[in-house]
Amino acid sequence: MGLALAVAVSVGGCDLQEDADLERGRDLFIAKCGTCHTMDQAATTSEIGPDLDSAFAAARAGGSNNETIEGIVGSQIANPRPADPDQTNVYMPADLVTGRDAENVAAYVGEVAGVPGIEPPIAPGGEGGQIFANNGCGSCHTLEAAGSSGTVGPNLDESLPDQDAKQVEESIVDPAAEIVSGFQNVMPANYEATIPADELKLLVDFLIKCSGDPDAKGCS
């Protein structure tokens, strides 16, 4: 998997929510929106919904700035197009993200959508760490090697050590198979389809090597 240097994005005072958490916005976008939308900086490639780079590149060319795009995205999140009862799977659901999380996502998209030449940031942990980051795993899980501190799902530094590759892979592609006590299963069930087999192997190898041991070779 080719990894290119990220194009720097200025975040100083450019968004409507000036204290927006753009990193959390990115993680949430990948986890909640990336299953439907393509956007280069988020490394998402789904074609179910509009390609946000194409849509907002045209808007930027027409004079729209970050704040305008942020406002459009915030409005679309708050008031998505009503679903056709026969095609609810191709419409954006209401309340996909709410409150502060919705503001973070809107600010993030306003910063990066349609920006010429923009690419995903480089994540720690080599190719496996990049796959972990690109799929938004850090928005739900703590993993010191990845610099993530999510609390929606289990702490991977605590739950993965001593598991073998088969167990780790099953937890990714069939998250309902065994749910860690104290957590609800809110993990997407389509990673087997959305993560190519070669990338899945790299991700599993990264998790086995680096969970509980962030100082292992190749984990930082």
Mean pLDDT value of segment 42-51:
82
- At 140, is the pLDDT very low, low, confident or very high (cuts 50, 70, 90)? confident
Q: Let me know: does 38 contact 47? Beta carbons within 8 Å.
A: yes
What length does the chain have? 220
Taking only the tens place, the pLDDT of each residue in 59-71 is 999 999 999 999 9
More confident residue, 18 or 130: 130
Mean pLDDT value of segment 84-94:
68
Tokens of 48: 């179910």
SS3 at position 55: helix
Taking the C-alpha atoms of residue 78 and residue 10, their distance in angstroms, rounded to an integer, is 26
Using the predicted structure, report yes or no on whether residue 10 has a pLDDT greater than 60.
no
Nearest one of 74, 60, 69 to 117, comparing CA atoms: 60
pLDDT at 209: 96
Using the predicted structure, report yes or no on whether residue 13 has a pLDDT greater than 60.
no
Tell me the CB-side half-sphere exposure of residue 90, using CA atoms within 13 A: 8
Cα-flanking dihedrals φ and ψ of residue 45, to 5°? -135, 15
Q: Which domains does the chain have, with CATH numbers?
A: 22-112 (1.10.760.10), 126-210 (1.10.760.10)
pLDDT at 16: 61
pLDDT at 15: 53
Tokens of 166: 């088969």
Host H or E run for residue 206 = helix 197-210
Using the predicted structure, report yes or no on whether residue 193 has a pLDDT greater than 80.
yes
In angstroms, what is the C-alpha Rg of the chain?
A: 18
Q: Let me know: does 9 contact 21? Beta carbons within 8 Å.
A: no
pLDDT at 84: 64
Taking only the tens place, the pLDDT of each residue in 157-191 is 999 998 999 999 999 999 988 888 888 888 888 88
CA 104 to each of CA 25, 162, 165, 195, 201: distance values in angstroms, whole numbers, following the listed order: 4, 36, 35, 25, 31
- At 17, is the pLDDT very low, low, confident or very high (cuts 50, 70, 90)? low
Taking the C-alpha atoms of residue 171 and residue 187, their distance in angstroms, rounded to an integer, is 10
Using the predicted structure, report yes or no on whether residue 55 has a pLDDT greater than 90.
yes
pLDDT at 83: 60
**Which of 85-89, 181-185, 196-200 bottoms out in mean pLDDT, i.e. has the lowest?**
85-89
pTM score, two decimals? 0.65
**Which of 67-76, 85-94, 103-112 bottoms out in mean pLDDT, i.e. has the lowest?**
85-94
Using the predicted structure, report yes or no on whether residue 104 has a pLDDT greater than 80.
yes
Nearest one of 49, 54, 58 to 76, comparing CA atoms: 49
What residues contact 191, with CB distance under 8 A and at least 6 apart? 135, 172, 173, 200
Mean pLDDT value of segment 143-157:
90
Using the predicted structure, report yes or no on whether residue 86 has a pLDDT greater than 70.
no
8-state DSSP, 43: T
